[in-house]
């Protein structure tokens, strides 16, 4: 398997699962970020307290079929294959096997090695189409299913199957990727969080409350409101409050922002510039009464000056 892309102590502290990617079939960066966030949540939900590593190979159908045939004697393609490195005792899973996990310490990763996963990207895409949900949801689901196997879960007997399903649901809902979730539903959630953030507005001078909800590509949502000041020029807009909260919590990459106000309020020039620093490809949703409109940040800030301009 490949060497990890980055491995330093700071990252190990922040992320509980080091994913050693082997990309034989490209997927977009958002999906990999969502997978990383979901992998971290696997360990959190299972209450594993030590850093762990896994390899994840994203491949095509022929590759996964060959691995299926070579290691399992099954001569066909599948969606995900997992090869745990820990030999869990009957009925036990990672959360209650810390000593066993520590025996799998791998100095290449500076973490306990849980095993290898293979995911067929074409299979994942076809299943997303078949089930009518997003590729993100399907990709994250397959990763979570695979990591659950690497943590000792199985679905051979009915009782084990139920237990595995429960754990998967817990992780997926923590990752905001529930079964019914679609991108449209995610937008609705973001819009209602922006409307709620508007209620926190401190706007005694303008009486114009604004709320924002910023979606980070790692799955987190940061809200913000406008915060005014008796020295008027020091007012901070809702959008910038959300961005500054997010960046100070370690988020650096965003895909959607929702903004709520009494009237249609596209972000002001200063906010457009600040958003452009971190998210030139941002989708911007504005809502007022029961209206919603959408534009891209690139439409709102054409030819914008940003980190790539220098
Ligand atoms: N405001 C925002 O929060 N976001 C914008 O993009 C435009 C303006 C706030 C700032 C001030 O508190 C109030 O709206 C009136 O300008």
Closest to 261 in 3D by CA, of 234, 280, 284, 277 = 284
Which of 53-57, 180-184, 193-197, 252-256 bottoms out in mean pLDDT, i.e. has the lowest?
Answer: 180-184
CB 181 within 8 A of CB 137: yes
Q: Is the pLDDT of residue 13 over 50?
A: no
Instruction: Report how far ligand 1's centroid is from the alpha carbon of 218 (Å).
Output: 27
* CA 267 to ligand 1: nearest atom: 6
Ligand 1 within 6 A of CB of 224:
no
Instruction: Report how far ligand 1's centroid is from the alpha carbon of 224 (Å).
Output: 12
Instruction: Report how far ligand 1's centroid is from the alpha carbon of 297 (Å).
Output: 17
From residue 252, how far is each of 5, 32, 183, 245 by CA, in Å?
18, 15, 21, 11
Lookup: tokens for 254: 């965003």
- How does pLDDT run across 159-199, given as a tens digit for each residue? 899 999 999 999 988 887 654 445 666 788 899 999 999 99
Nearest CA to ligand 1 atom 7: 268
Instruction: Report how far ligand 1's centroid is from the alpha carbon of 238 (Å).
Output: 7
Closest to 238 in 3D by CA, of 216, 205, 270, 281 = 270
Instruction: Report how far ligand 1's centroid is from the alpha carbon of 19 (Å).
Output: 41
Instruction: Report how far ligand 1's centroid is from the alpha carbon of 237 (Å).
Output: 5
Ligand 1 within 6 A of CB of 206:
yes
Q: Is the pLDDT of residue 282 over 70?
A: yes
Report for 127-136, 149-158, 232-241: range of highest mean pLDDT: 232-241
Residue 42: per-residue pLDDT: 95
d(C-alpha 183, C-alpha 253), whole Å? 18
Instruction: Report how far ligand 1's centroid is from the alpha carbon of 108 (Å).
Output: 50
Ligand 1 within 6 A of CB of 203:
yes
Q: Is the pLDDT of residue 5 over 80?
A: no
d(C-alpha 28, C-alpha 154), whole Å? 30
* CA 201 to ligand 1: nearest atom: 12
For all residues of the chain together, what is the average pLDDT?
A: 90
Residue 150: per-residue pLDDT: 98
CB 213 within 8 A of CB 257: yes
Instruction: Report how far ligand 1's centroid is from the alpha carbon of 221 (Å).
Output: 20
Nearest CA to ligand 1 atom 13: 208
d(C-alpha 63, C-alpha 43), whole Å? 28
The pLDDT confidence band at residue 129, using thresholds 50, 70 and 90, is: confident
The pLDDT confidence band at residue 55, using thresholds 50, 70 and 90, is: very high
Ligand 1 within 6 A of CB of 237:
yes
Q: List Cβ<8 Å contacts ≥24 apart for 153-162.
A: 153/93
Tell me which of 208, 211, 263 to substitute to probe ligand 1's pocket, judged by most ligand atoms within 8 Å of the beta carbon: 208
- Residues 55-74, buried b or exposed e (16+ Cβ, 10 A)? bbbbbebebbbebbeeeeee
Backbone phi, psi, residue 264, to 5°: -65, 120
What lies within 8 Å, CB to CB, of 73 at 6+ separation is none
Residue 132: per-residue pLDDT: 67
* CA 271 to ligand 1: nearest atom: 6
Residue 189: per-residue pLDDT: 85
């Amino acid at each position: 398997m490949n060497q990890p892309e980055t491995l330093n102590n700071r990252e190990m502290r922040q992320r509980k699962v080091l994913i050693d990617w082997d990309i034989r079939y490209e997927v977009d960066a958002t999906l990999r970020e969502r997978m990383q966030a979901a992998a971290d949540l696997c360990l959190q939900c299972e209450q594993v307290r030590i850093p762990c590593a896994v390899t994840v190979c994203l491949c095509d159908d022929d590759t996964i079929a060959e691995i299926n045939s070579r290691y399992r004697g099954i001569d066909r393609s599948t969606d995900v294959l997992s090869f745990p490195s820990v030999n869990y005792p009957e009925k036990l899973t990672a959360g209650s096997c810390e000593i066993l996990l520590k025996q799998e310490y791998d100095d290449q990763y500076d973490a306990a090695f849980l095993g290898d996963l293979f995911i067929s990207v074409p299979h994942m895409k076809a299943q997303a189409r078949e089930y009518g949900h997003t590729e993100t949801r399907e990709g994250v689901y397959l990763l979570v299913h695979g990591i659950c196997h690497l943590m000792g879960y199985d679905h051979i007997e009915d009782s084990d199957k139920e237990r595995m399903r429960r754990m998967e649901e817990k992780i997926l809902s923590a990752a905001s990727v529930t079964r019914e979730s679609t991108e449209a539903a995610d937008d609705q959630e973001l819009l209602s969080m922006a409307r709620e953030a508007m209620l926190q507005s401190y706007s005694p001078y303008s009486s114009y409350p604004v709320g924002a909800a910023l979606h980070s590509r790692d799955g987190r949502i940061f809200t913000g409101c406008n915060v005014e000041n008796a020295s008027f020029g020091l007012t901070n807009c809702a959008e910038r409050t959300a961005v500054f909260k997010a960046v100070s919590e370690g988020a650096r990459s965003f895909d959607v922002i929702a903004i709520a106000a009494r009237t249609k309020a596209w972000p002001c020039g200063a906010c457009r510039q600040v958003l452009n620093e971190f998210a030139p490809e941002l989708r911007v949703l504005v809502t007022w009464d029961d209206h919603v409109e959408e534009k891209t940040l690139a439409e709102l800030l054409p030819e914008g000056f940003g980190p790539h301009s220098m």
